[in-house]
Amino acid sequence: MTPTTSLFTPVEADLQILADNLKQLVGNRHPILYAAAEHLFGAGGKHLRPAIVLLVSRATITEDITARHRRLAEITEMIHTASLVHDDVVDESDVRRGVPTVHSLFGNRIAVLAGDFLFAQSSWYLANLNNLDVVKLLSEVIMDLATGEIQQGLNRFNTDLSTETYLQKSYYKTASLIANSSKAAGLISETSRETAEHLYNYGRHLGLSFQIVDDILDFTSSTDTLGKPAGSDLKSGNLTAPALYALEEKPDLKVLIEREFAQEGDLEKASALIHDSRGIQRSRELAAHHAKLAAEHISILEPSESRQALINLTDYSISRLC
């Protein structure tokens, strides 16, 4: 499996600048919030989303990328990080990327405020890009993140959930940020509207592929590998592709889920039924389908090292299952 760091070679120097800037952007006027942000931005994340923004920026412009491209990448990471802080509070997760979550270190109140602060800061920097189309795109992302979290909360243990609704929720929670920030990078590069739409669809399908693979790994990987508790989605009633496909084959699974794993051994039985079904294989096929569509959309750009890296990311999203 290719490490993400080698995929980001064309923007390696850009990502170092981004890492140096992130903590400065938050500022140190609020010591607790600054400590929370310092913890978050130093937690060993791959910076996947800003890397995609930077790669799209370099793939759509002939000269060097601008300060506005760099600021967009930073805003993208701030929005993503803010959403993780809130997600961890909602999910009551004590670990993220193998390190303690903000709320486990500072308490729920500070975690919620830290997330709010990062959203507010990202919105302020977004407004200062002075590009209304880009402001609209990234503002929509913040709404989508909240919508996805609400949808997920309302559909806990819902065995009638359709694959289409699951994919819509996955778009809101994961793919919207990648899709809209990719398109925004194209707009800052002043690409054609047609190219900007291809960039949007690249991010949309890549984001869905990544999320579906993450949902598979929740069943097939270890807690150490995931950096968070394995099997947490099923336990919390968040039904993802493997479980939804398995429900079509295993009627006993419906009973276990609908009683919310109330009896001893229910969760283990449910996991065994999913592994005994074609749920995981069908989910792999769904992820591969979206990765293929992403590659097709980004291939319309002129050949470059950055475009190739974006294509390679579509392969990487699936290779994580190997």
Whether 5 shows a pLDDT value over 80: the answer reads no
Whether 261 shows a pLDDT value over 60: the answer reads yes
Question: SS3 for 265-321, per residue?
Answer: CHHHHHHHHHHCCCHHHHHHHHHHHHHHHHHHHHCCCCCCHHHHHHHHHHHHHHHCC
Are 205 and 184 in contact, with CB atoms under 8 Å apart? no
What does DSSP assign to residue 264? T
User: Which pLDDT score is estimated for 101?
Assistant: 80
Choose between 225 and 38: higher pLDDT. 38
Whether 1 shows a pLDDT value over 50: the answer reads no
Mean pLDDT confidence for 40-60: 86
Whether 125 shows a pLDDT value over 90: the answer reads yes
Whether 28 shows a pLDDT value over 90: the answer reads no
Whether 239 shows a pLDDT value over 60: the answer reads yes
User: Which pLDDT score is estimated for 99?
Assistant: 75
Mean pLDDT confidence for 153-177: 97
Domains in the chain and their CATH numbers?
4-320 (1.10.600.10)
Tokens read off for 83: 């959403």
Query: Position of tokens 């792999």?
Result: 284
User: Which pLDDT score is estimated for 164?
Assistant: 97
**CA 15/CA 298 separation, integer angstroms:** 21
Question: Model confidence over 263-320: pLDDT tens digits?
Answer: 999 999 999 999 999 999 999 999 999 999 999 999 999 999 999 999 999 999 999 9
Helix (H/G/I), strand (E/B), else coil: 128: coil
Question: Model confidence over 61-116: pLDDT tens digits?
Answer: 999 999 999 999 999 999 998 888 887 777 777 776 667 787 887 788 888 888 88
Q: Of the candidates 86, 314, 37, which has an alpha carbon nearest to the alpha carbon of residue 201?
A: 314
pLDDT band at 118 (very low <50, low <70, confident <90, very high): confident
Choose between 225 and 126: higher pLDDT. 126
Q: For a pLDDT cut of 90, what percent of the chain falls above it?
A: 71
**CA 148/CA 48 separation, integer angstroms:** 20
Question: Model confidence over 178-213: pLDDT tens digits?
Answer: 999 999 999 999 999 999 999 999 999 999 999 999
Which stretch of DSSP H or E encloses residue 100? strand 99-100
Are 21 and 54 in contact, with CB atoms under 8 Å apart? no
Burial environment of residue 226 by CB neighbours within 10 A (0 to 12, 13 to 18, 19 or more): middle
DSSP H helices, the chain, are: 4-7, 12-26, 31-41, 48-59, 67-91, 102-106, 108-127, 132-154, 163-170, 176-188, 193-220, 223-226, 232-235, 241-247, 251-258, 266-275, 279-298, 305-319
**CA 272/CA 261 separation, integer angstroms:** 13
User: Which pLDDT score is estimated for 90?
Assistant: 78
